[in-house]
């Protein structure tokens, strides 16, 4: 519990990330309260994916801390970060590939197969059915990733991230490959997972519709959060804030 009485699932302080002479993140500060569903927006190249990769322990920083469930992800070695991720963080990244030699079912169950202490076999079975149904990928469980469309693959990656009941889901353009209806369904699923389970969600998106599914939107500019607003679940309001921030 913080002094202000608010708990955070994710708390970044003083995060710096450089590529050569380019400072992508500089003294970056960000907090995701427990149980929150929030969005991160900004122009291409401003560092959104960089931050999510750092927070997922997939990238090394040049300074700072990113605490998830009270642990500093940035100070972990690769294998510790991988284990931590399987237990606490659901990652939905386009580049975070599915394993091509494994079926959809095996891919979705993989994090639990590697570290299945958290749920019973019955819970896994029930959760698998619910999530697969909600994502509209029933019937393709025995297919290989190469036999799927881009959108189907993306939904399998989302199912894989959600199945272990992570404390936080980090999603980078989770609807980027989806049609309008599927994107809406994914937003509804995120909202449901967020409200029914103790799962905080941070979604990076260019789509005001997706950002408006979240309660709050943050805008990244010059390596920092330049502004944050309540979305009021209104895509037009999100677009207006965006244009004001980057005018
Ligand atoms: N491996 C890398 N080596 C060098 N520069 C990199 C590397 N990865 C990212 N960058 C640079 O860091 C900056 C931020 O990239 P990042 O992928 O975080 O942007 P983004 O906000 O996610 O953009 P987009 O909306 O296009 O996905 C960009 O200028 C990019 O060129
Ligand atoms: Mg990106």
Structure confidence at residue 177 (pLDDT): 80
Rounded CA separation 55/52 (Å)? 5
pLDDT along the chain (247 residues), means of 10: 67 97 96 97 97 96 95 96 92 81 95 76 89 90 93 90 91 89 86 87 96 97 97 98 96
From the CA of 53, give the closest atom in ligand 1. Answer: 18
| Ligand lying nearest the CA atom of residue 41 | 1
Structure confidence at residue 95 (pLDDT): 58
Give me ligand 1 centre to Cα 19, in Å. 9
Ligand 1 lined by 24 (C-beta under 6 Å): yes
Residue ranges covered by each domain of the chain: 8-101+167-246
Tell me which residue has its CA closest to atom 16 in ligand 1: 47
Cβ neighbour number for residue 20 with a 10 Å cutoff = 5
| Ligand lying nearest the CA atom of residue 18 | 1
Do residues 127 and 196 make contact, with C-beta atoms less than 8 angstroms apart? no
Element (H, E) at 196: helix 180-196
Tell me which residue has its CA closest to atom 10 in ligand 1: 19
CATH assignment of 8-101+167-246? Answer: 3.40.50.300
Rounded CA separation 195/152 (Å)? 25
Tell me which residue has its CA closest to atom 27 in ligand 1: 44
């Amino acid at each position: 519990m913080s002094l202000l009485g608010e708990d955070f699932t994710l708390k970044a302080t003083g995060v710096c990330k450089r590529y050569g002479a380019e400072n992508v993140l500089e003294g970056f500060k960000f907090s995701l309260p427990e149980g929150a569903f929030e969005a991160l927006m900004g122009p291409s190249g401003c560092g959104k994916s960089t931050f999510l990769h750092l927070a997922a322990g997939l990238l090394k920083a040049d300074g700072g801390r990113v605490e998830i469930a009270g642990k500093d992800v940035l100070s972990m070695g690769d294998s510790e970060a991988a284990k931590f991720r399987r237990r606490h963080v659901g990652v939905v990244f386009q580049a975070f590939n599915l394993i091509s030699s494994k079926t959809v079912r095996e891919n979705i169950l993989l994090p639990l197969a590697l570290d299945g202490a958290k749920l019973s076999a019955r819970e896994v079975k029930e959760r698998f059915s619910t999530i697969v149904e909600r994502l509209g990928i029933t019937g393709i469980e025995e297919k290989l990733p190469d036999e799927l469309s881009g959108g189907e693959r993306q939904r399998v990656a989302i199912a894989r991230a959600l199945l272990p009941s992570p404390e936080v889901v980090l999603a980078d353009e989770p609807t980027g490959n989806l049609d309008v209806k599927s994107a809406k369904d994914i937003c509804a699923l995120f909202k449901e997972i967020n409200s029914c389970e103790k799962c905080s969600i941070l979604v990076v998106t260019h789509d005001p519709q997706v950002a408006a599914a979240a309660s709050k939107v943050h805008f990244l500019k010059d390596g920092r959060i330049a502004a944050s607003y309540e979305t009021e679940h209104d895509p037009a309001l999100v677009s207006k804030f965006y244009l004001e921030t980057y005018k």
